[in-house]
């Protein structure tokens, strides 16, 4: 039986925090977990990328043992090119990207808006900023766990769309801090 690989793209305006966290999370939770019926490969991009990943995003991911290799801030134009990997799912994780006109994605992926607060916008001492990153991480972690638990191959497109939209409203379970 051939394994089906599902490509997932997370979009945000700056591609420096939320979408980066989501990319790492999908690679963590999807990696090897779907051997019987597919694996997920995550990607992230921004409409106006900052050009660098927020240092607190990398520090948080590393402290949690999450994947950070290859994470970089990049434009969503990279994924709208003909030679780009075809996406199965495209999720916006910030309000600005949800209201923007997105490129036409080859392959007609399932899309949803999974808006979360921007930890990079939080001002104050570093511990306050890091707490914002943790909170955003926990929301995305809960949603991505729900997403990766779906039996994608067993759902028709309409059911799949409904499920990913519902996941976008899921809140994080309280984390042990």
Q: Which residues are catalytic?
A: 12, 94, 102
CA-CA-CA-CA torsion for 80, 81, 83, 84, nearest 10 degrees? -30
Long-range Cβ pairs for the range 74-77 (8 Å, 24+): 74/15, 74/44, 74/45, 74/46, 74/49, 75/15, 75/45, 75/46, 75/47, 75/49, 76/9, 76/11, 76/15, 76/45, 76/46, 76/47, 76/102, 76/103, 77/45, 77/103
């Amino acid at each position: 039986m051939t394994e089906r690989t599902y490509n997932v793209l997370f979009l945000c305006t700056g591609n420096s925090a939320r979408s980066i966290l989501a990319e790492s999370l999908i690679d963590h939770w999807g990696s090897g977990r779907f051997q019987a019926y597919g694996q997920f490969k995550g990607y992230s991009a921004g409409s106006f990328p900052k050009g660098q990943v927020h240092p607190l995003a990398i520090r948080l991911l590393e402290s949690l043992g999450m994947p950070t290799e290859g994470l970089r801030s990049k434009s969503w134009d990279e994924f709208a090119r003909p030679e780009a990997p075809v996406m199965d799912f495209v999720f916006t994780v910030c309000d600005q990207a949800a209201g923007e006109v997105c490129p036409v994605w080859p392959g007609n992926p399932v899309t949803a808006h999974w808006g979360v607060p921007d930890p990079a916008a939080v001002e104050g001492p570093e511990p306050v900023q890091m707490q914002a990153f943790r909170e955003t991480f926990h929301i995305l972690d809960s949603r991505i766990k729900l997403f990766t638990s779906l039996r994608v191959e067993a759902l028709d497109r309409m059911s799949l769309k409904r499920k990913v939209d519902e996941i976008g409203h899921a809140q994080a379970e309280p984390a042990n801090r």
